[in-house]
Structure 1
Amino acid sequence: MSIAYPDRVKLANVPTPLQPLDRISQLYSKPYGGPRLWVKRDDLTESAMSGNKLRKLEFIIAEALATGCDTLITCGGEQSNHCRATALAAAKMGLKSHLILRGGAAPVSGEDADGNLLVDYVAGANVSIYPLRQYLDELPALFAHWARHYETMGGRALCIPTGGSDGLGIWGYIQAAEELAQDFQQHDIEPEHIVCATGSGGTQAGLTLGGYLLGAGYQVTGYAVCDDNDYFVRKVIDDVSDWCRRYDKTLAPERLNIAVNDRYIGPGYGVADAAVYETIAKLAQTEALLLDPVYTGKAFHGLLEEIKAGTYEGCRDLVFVHTGGQFGVFPHRAHFQRP
C-alpha cells in the first residue's frame, strides 16, 4: 500500500539501523525458548536531538512553518526527551521554543540543571517550570497564556501536546512502520512482535496504525512507563481518531489490535527500581547499548521479564524500538554501581 504523507522537514538521519542483539538473546532469551531480539536504533536519529521525538517533529515543524508560526510551545517533565528535542529542532529551524515543564516539590533551577534540562537551557529555550499540582491543574491555561504572550509580541505559536503525540505527530511512526518493512525485507525476517516504551502514546499509535495500513502481521505492544492499560488504549484510539479527522480518513479504531503491558511501571513515572538499573547496565555491558531509566530501560526490563515468564516462547524474531533518551541517564547517576 502506498501512503501519501503531508509535508515534513528533514531533521532525522533515517533510515536508522535494525541490529540483532545476539549476545542478549543467547543469555536472556534463548534459555527460555524466546525469540532472537533485534533493536531498531531510533536513538540514532541525530546525535543531540536523538530519539523517537525527532520523527514526529519533522511533521510538526512543517506544520508550524506552513501556518506562519515562529515559536514552538510544548510541555513535559523536567527531564523530557521531547522538550529537549523540540528546543534543539526549533533552534536548527530558526524558531523560538518555550517549554512548560513539570517540576517536583522543589523544581530544579537553571544553575543546577542536568541531563535534558541542561540541554534545554543550552539550546536557548525559554523554560517555565511549575509545581506538579499547578502543572496538572492548569496545563491548558498555561498553554493559552504563553500563546497569548507571543501574540502580543507580534508572533505566532504552535502548541504541541505532550510527546508530540497527536494526529499530526503520529505520521512520524507511520513512516517508521514503512521503514521497518524495508528493514525486515533486507534482513529476511518476519518478526511476530514489535515492542516499544509508551509514555505519551504517540509512538505506539503510529506503529500500530502504520502496521495496520501496511497489512503487517506483527503485534505492536507498548510497555507503559506511566498510567495503565486502559489509559493507553484510549490514548492510541484518540490519536488515531484525531489523525482521521485531520486528514479525512475513515477507520474504526476498534479494528486496531492495541496491546499494552502495564506491569513494569515500577514506583511511578521517572522513578525506577534497582532491577531496571541492572538491566540498563546489562545492555551496556553486553551490547554497548545505552538505555534510560524513564522509558527504554523500563520497557526492556519488562520485555526480559516477560520472556522469562514464557510470554514469547516459540516466537522467532522480536524487535525492540529504541526510542532514545540517553541524556536521561545522567540525573540517575547515583543508582548505578561503580567498581
Structure 2
Amino acid sequence: MASPPLPSSSPIRPRDFTPTAVMTRCAQKHRPPMFEEASYSPPPWASHLHPLPSRFISLGQFPTPIHKWNLPNLPNGTEVWIKRDDLTGMQLSGNKVRKLEFLMAEAKAEGADCVITLGGIQSNHCRATAVAARYLNLDCFLILRTNRTQVDVDPGLVGNLLVERMVGAHVELVSKEEYRQHGSEMLGKMLKKKLLSEGRAPYLIPVGGSNSLGVWGYLEAVREIEEQLRESTCHPDGFDDIVMACGSGGTTAGLALGFHLSPLKARVHGYGVCDDPEYFYDFIQGLLDGMNANVAARDIVNIVDAKGLGYAMSTNAELAFVKEIAEATGIVLDPVYSGKALFGLLRDMKEKPGEWSGKKVLFVHTGGLLGMYDKLQQLQPFISKWKRFQIPESTSEAGMNVGRMF
C-alpha cells in the first residue's frame, strides 16, 4: 500500500513504491556502463514535454555529492549547501557532461563521424566536447574565439587548450570581431559545410551545448537532487533557493524548469556572467518553447547580472574573493562562472540580508577549474605563504644520512 501523502507544504514526498517511481529510481542508480548508449525514460513530471529524447550515452559519474558549505558572513539562520557538479568526471568537465550525454547520443544516432562546437579560447564546453568525442571515437573540430592579435599564432597549451590538444581536437581560431560579425551559428554552419564537402558527417553542437535537447541534462540533475533528498543523503527538508552561474543558459533553463515541474518547487537564481538579464530571459524562453513547456521564463527563474567587467574578465576583487573562499572552505571556484556567481550571491546577501535570512540555499558548482590557469598573472599577488626552508647551521647530522631521490 502506498504511503499517505504529506501536506502540500512539504518539499519532500514520502518514499514512493509505485512501479513508475521504482523504475525511475532504478534508472537513476543503475546507469549503463560508461560510454554505452541506453534508452531514456524522462522523470514522470517531465513526461509531457515534447520532443522527448529517446537515447543518452553514459559519460558522467553520478550522482554528484551535496554537502554543507560553511561560507563566512552569511545572514542569520542562512544555510548554504553545494552540489559538486565540478566532480562529474570526464577530465573535470563539470556541468557540460550532463548536456553532452544527450547531444552525443543524437550525434551517434545521426551517423556523425565528427562533432563541431564553438566558444571562447578557454571554453570549458569546448574542452568537454573534445574529451567526449574522443571517448566515442569521433573527431572534434573547435572554433575558438580569441584576440585579434593572437588569431594567427599558435594558441599554446594553457588550461583547457592543453586537454583539447592532448585528445587531438582540431582547433580553428577566429577573432572576437569576426565572431561578433558572423555569429556563432553562422560560423558553425560554415565549418559544417566545409566538412560535408570533404565527405565528412559532422554534427554541430551549439555554444555551451545549450539547446532544448541539452536542457534535458539538467532536468535529469533535478531528478537526481530529488532522489538525494528522498534518500536523505543531503538536507532532509529540501531547499528554498537554487543558485548557479548562467553562461550559455542551458543549465539554468534545465534547473529552472525542473524545479518548477518537480515536487521540489525551489526558486532558481541564475547569476549571469555575460550578456544581460533581458538576453537570458529571451534565450531561456526559446529553449522552453522548443520543449513545449508552456511556461514563461520570467515566472520560473530570477536572472541576476554578475558579469562585472565582462565574460571571462576578472576584477582583482573577484579573484581575491575566489582565493579567500578556497582558503576558508577548501572549495576552488573558477573565475569565469561559479566564482562570479558566488561573488554576486554573497554581495546580495550582504545588501539584502532580510531576503536570505533563514533560507536553505543550494549552490550548484558547475566546474571550470582549468580556466583558472588563464588568470595566473592576475592571481599571483593574492597567493603568498611561501619561503625558503631554513636549515640550522648547527645541525649535527649534516651529511651523515644523505636523502635519496627515488
Normalising by structure 2, report the TM-score.
0.77
Q: 1:327 to 1:311 in 2, by over 3 A?
A: farther
Counterpart in the other structure of 2:342:
300
Q: CA deviation at 1:89?
A: 0.5
Alignment-derived partner of residue 135 in structure 1: 179
| Equivalent position of 2:55 in the other structure | 7
Contact in 2 for aligned 1:147/1:159 (Cα 8 Å): yes
The alignment yields a C-alpha RMSD, in angstroms, of: 1.7
Deviation at 1:332, TM superposition (A): 0.2
Q: Which whole-Å deviations, capped at 9, do the CAs of 1:235-278 have from their partners, x for residues lacking one?
A: 1111111222xxxxx5233584221011x311111101112112
Cα contact 1:225–1:269 (8 A) shared by 2:
yes
Deviations 1:280-316 (A, max 9, x none): 1122112211111111100011111111111543233
Query: In 2, Cα distance between the equivalents of 1:65 and 1:225?
Result: 32
Matched, 1:56 2:99: yes
Contact 1:49/1:84 (CA < 8 Å) preserved in 2? no
Deviations 1:73-122 (A, max 9, x none): 01000000000000010001100111111111323643633111222111
Distance 2:98 2:61 in 1: 9
Q: Which moved more, 1:221-230 or 1:276-285?
A: 276-285
Identity value in percent: 37
Q: Name which of structure 1's ranges 41-50 and 58-67 shifts more when overlaid on structure 2.
A: 41-50
| 2:309 is the alignment partner of 1:267 | yes
Once residues 204 and 330 of structure 2 are traced to their aligned partners in structure 1, the CA distance between those partners, rounded to angstroms, is 37
Q: How does 1:232-251 map to 2 (within 5 A)?
A: 232-244=280-292, 251=294
Contact 1:291–1:297 (8 Å) recurs in 2: yes
Residue 94 of structure 2 corresponds to residue 46 of structure 1: no
Which runs of no fewer than 5 residues in structure 1 stay unpaired?
245-249
2:168 aligned counterpart, secondary structure: coil
AA at the equivalent of 1:253: A
Alignment correspondent of 1:277:
319
Q: Is 1:229 aligned to residue 280 of structure 2?
A: no
Deviation sequence 1:205-248 (CA, Å, 0-9, x none): 0001111221422101000101111111111111111222xxxx
Distance 1:99 1:84 in 2: 9
Cα distance in 2 for partners of 1:273, 1:302 equals 13
Question: Does residue 163 of structure 2 align to residue 115 of structure 1?
Answer: no
Q: Structure 2: which 5+ runs fail to align?
A: 1-42, 48-52, 385-406
The alpha-carbon deviation at position 47 of structure 1 amounts to 5.1
2:201 maps to 1:159? no
3-state secondary structure, aligned to 2:149: coil
Question: Which residue type is aligned with residue 229 of structure 2?
Answer: F
Structure 2 counterparts to residues 191-230 of structure 1, below 5 A: 191-230=239-278
1: CA distance between counterparts of 2:356 and 2:98? 32
The answer on 1:322 being equivalent to 2:365 is yes
Higher helix share goes to which structure? 1
Corresponding residue number in structure 2 for 1:313: 356
CA distance in structure 1 between the partners assigned to 2:207 and 2:324 by the alignment: 30
| Farther off after superposition, 100-109 or 328-337 | 100-109
Greater Cα offset, 310-319 or 222-231:
310-319
* Higher RCO (C-alpha 8 Å, min separation 6): 1
| Superposition map of 1:21-36 within 5 A | 21-22=69-70, 24=71, 27-29=72-74, 32-33=75-76, 35-36=78-79
Q: CA deviation at 1:322?
A: 0.3
Paired residue secondary structure (1:243): coil
Cross-structure match for 1:69:
112
Counterparts of 2:114 and 2:92, CA distance in 1: 18
Partner of 1:99: 142
How many Å separate the matches in 1 of 2:312 and 2:131? 22
Number of equivalences? 328
Q: Which residue of 1 aligns with 2:401?
A: none
SS at match of 1:112: coil
Give TM-score, length-normalised by structure 1: 0.92
